[in-house]
Structure 1
Amino acid sequence: METTSRVGATAPAPEGGQGFASDRRTVDAYLRAPFPWYGLDEAFTGPRWLMQVGMASDGAVEHGSIGHGDTPSVLHEGVTGEPRDKFTVVVTVAAHPSRRTDDGTGLLEATSVSSAAWLAGVGLLSFTWPGQLDHSLRDDWLEQQTETAWALADDLGGPEWSRLSLPVDGVAADFHYRESEFGWVLAGTTEAGVHLGAYGRGMSAYGLGFAAVGDVSAYA
């Protein structure tokens, strides 16, 4: 996929609290980003928290995630009824064309809305566990599902996706949207020069709005 970068795209691990901002270094990484971070707009009044940033091979901040609502816990596949946690995670991805690394020795892939869709899809998977599998087999399952998320992100015009209009900084914007047994995923592009992805469970995507974060350090 030429326009989707996996640079620094490590999905947060739900066990042991990994993937969530726990020290000043993580906050500082968010503050080094040369692009605005996005989260849910002021209509959301619940808890907000930083997760993690992804960096390119040259150390540049490429993307990061901000959580809203309950801290996600692992959902077993096949569980019925209302999920016990309700959350939305917003992924901000720097929008840029392919470019050379700072030392001139390599080429970094371009990012696109597909990049945001893949990161959101993998993020949702990281909080899902097939109940019929033990720990020794989960890595194989996650690898398979990650490749599926990659293929879906590369086909945003395909039948698995629908269109959803949601406000970004108060202006309606189009998003690609899909649902699965694990939750929902959406992705789009903003006028501020970043791509947005989001995923969630227990909170409807249809009533959400997004806005640039004024002070990201307040979410630590």
Structure 2
Amino acid sequence: METTSRAGAEGASNAVTEEEVPAARRTVDGYLQASFPWYGLDEAFTGQRWLMQVGTAADGTVQHGSTGHGDEPLVRGDSGGDKQRFAVVVTVGSSPVRRSGDGTGVLDATTVSSAAWLAGSGLLSYTWPAQLDHTLRDDWLDQQTETAFELADDLDGPAWSVLSLPVDGVPVPFHYRESEYGWVLAGSARGEVHIGAYGRGMSAYGLGFSVIADIATYA
């Protein structure tokens, strides 16, 4: 299996809820503990930038995290949620097959599929079909999250196309897909990290990515 397994994605499994952490708790501390560089939109983007949340393994090692650009997204269906323009960049540290933090199992290597899964489930955290009420959302979310996982594990399938975007000024092929809720893409950079992204209201075709020189500028 190319993507992280359910057991191996303990950091990824929080993707749907981790973006809901109040802004006051989104500090730069966790980002500074990462052993890999963080990516965001390049200097061509001149709008607002903000921190989201990092994901950690059982031993506290930072595995991935997200940075936001544009409007801080509301759940789609909330007032104004459909009109927002945002792009979220997910950085996943590249790591080989490794032992789980508690020593009881093995975690899969992180791959581009890991980034695709995190981006896909991240988009879902801000998606809520208007015809659903609160009591039905959990069922819908479970179903859509399973679909996002399956799509992330089949990046060569018909649901994805290839989009070339600059990463640190160098064209890089990304796997890309659109839905009625927004878009998702995933690729790799320098062998150090995998990059995922999702957004709504902003076209993915004009985006570029670069290393964040000072993550504190997002705080």
Counterpart of 1:23 in structure 2 is: 25
Residue in 1 that maps onto 2:115: 116
Q: Tell me whether 1:167 sits opposite 2:170 in the alignment.
A: no
2: CA distance between counterparts of 1:164 and 1:62? 25
Alignment of 1:59-78 (within 5 A): 59-76=60-77
Give the match's secondary structure for 1:197: strand
What stretches of structure 2 of length at least 5 have no aligned partner?
none
Tell whether the 8 Å contact from 2:3 to 2:152 is kept in structure 1 after alignment. Answer: no
User: Does 2:140 match 1:141?
Assistant: yes
Q: Which runs of 5+ in 1 are unaligned?
A: none
Aligned match of 1:47: 48
- Whether 2:193 is the aligned partner of 1:194: answer yes
Which amino acid counterpart does residue 23 of structure 1 have in structure 2?
R
The aligned residue for residue 6 of structure 1 is 9
**Contact 1:21–1:49 (CA under 8 A) maintained in structure 2:** no
Is the CA contact (8 Å cut-off) linking 2:58 and 2:102 kept in structure 1?
no
Residue 125 of structure 2 is matched in structure 1 by 126
TM-score, normalised to structure 2's length?
0.91
1:50-101 deviation digits (Å, cap 9, x = unpaired): 0001111121100000000001112239xxxx94110000000011111124
Amino acid of the structure 1 residue aligned with 2:15: A
In the other structure, the counterpart of 2:88 is 89
Q: Are the counterparts in 1 of residues 2 and 153 from structure 2 also a CA contact under 8 Å?
A: no
Aligned position for 2:37: 36
Does the 8 A contact of 2:2 with 2:111 survive in 1? no
Question: SS state of the match for residue 140, structure 1?
Answer: helix
The CA RMSD over aligned residues, in Å, is 2.2
Amino-acid identity (%): 68
CA contact (8 A) 1:20 1:52 kept: no
Letter in 2 for 1:117: A
The Cα of 1:21 is off from its aligned counterpart by 4.5
Match of 2:195, SS?
Answer: strand
Equivalent AA in structure 2 for residue 134 of structure 1: D
TM-score by length of 1: 0.90
Tell me, yes or no, if the aligned pair for 2:177 and 2:185 is still in contact at 8 Å.
yes
Cα deviation digits, residues 120-160 of structure 1 (max 9, x gap): 00011110112222111111110100000000000000000
